[in-house]
Amino acid sequence: MTQPAPAQAALPSHSGVTDLYFDFLCPYAWRGLELADVLRREHGLKFRLRHFSLVQGNHAENPDRKYPTWWLTDQVAGQGSEYQAGSLNAFLAGQAAMRQTEDAAWAFTLELLRARHAAPEKADLANDGTMRAAAEGTLDTARFEADFADQDGLRAALRDDLQASASLGVFGTPTYHLPGGDIAYFRFANLVTEPGAALDLWTLYTKVLSDGALIETIKRAK
């Protein structure tokens, strides 16, 4: 049987911009965003924040994540598992932050990721108070409150990200979609924030992706 076409065509990343797919639930995504933030601030590289749902990608009703039938954006806010409720809430808050400046959106996103993964106790992503705390000092809070209330608009924007990630075959976070079209998941064991080390790591990563050897998997034995 012929499968239906993906929800959205897999297009190359925007010219000169690397799309960075992440999930607020994932500590590896947090490290990947910290690395990208250093690269954008210190070295002028361009990254675009995109959302990918691990809950949706790994859901039992989506055996082929390229053709999902269960969508996170169709779920009722605050319901489902802790991960489902928390990730949906964080994604919608992230979409609201993206309506402000690029730097503000990055600051909010990193603040929320740090609250979840770097703080002594993991922040509760299902709690709107967690979203408001991350917004303080990073966003125009009045505008954030107004934008965060636009649930239909935020869900539509999130759906665009989830459709794009499904078309591309994203399966984990962080996944980088480079301007030339290369796309891959890269799992970071360490947090790298020193500018020189960050650039060295990114140079190595992109060289591996573009190398003619076409290395697809590197996994250390334990």
Contacts of 117 (CB under 8 A, 6+ apart): 27, 30
CA gap 55, 88 in Å, rounded: 9
CA gap 14, 25 in Å, rounded: 26
Q: Write the CATH number of the domain with boundaries 18-210.
A: 3.40.30.10
CA gap 207, 56 in Å, rounded: 31
CA gap 210, 56 in Å, rounded: 29
Pairing between strand 47-51 and 18-22?
parallel
Q: Write the Ramachandran bin of 186: left for phi over 0, alpha for psi from -120 to 50, otherwise beta.
A: beta
How many alpha carbons lie under 13 Å from residue 18 in its C-beta half-sphere?
24
> Cα separations (Å) of 105 from 91, 108, 134, 140, 142?
12, 5, 11, 11, 15
- Tokens in use for 94? 């992230």
pLDDT at 222: 78
pLDDT at 110: 98
What is the SS3 assignment for 51? strand
pTM: 0.90
pLDDT, one tens digit for every residue, the chain (222 residues): 444 444 443 444 556 999 999 999 999 999 999 999 999 999 999 999 999 999 999 999 999 999 999 999 999 999 999 999 999 999 999 999 999 999 999 999 999 999 999 999 999 999 999 999 999 999 999 999 999 999 999 999 999 999 999 999 999 999 999 998 999 999 888 999 999 999 999 999 999 888 888 888 877 787
Q: What are the residues facing 183 on neighbouring strands?
A: 177
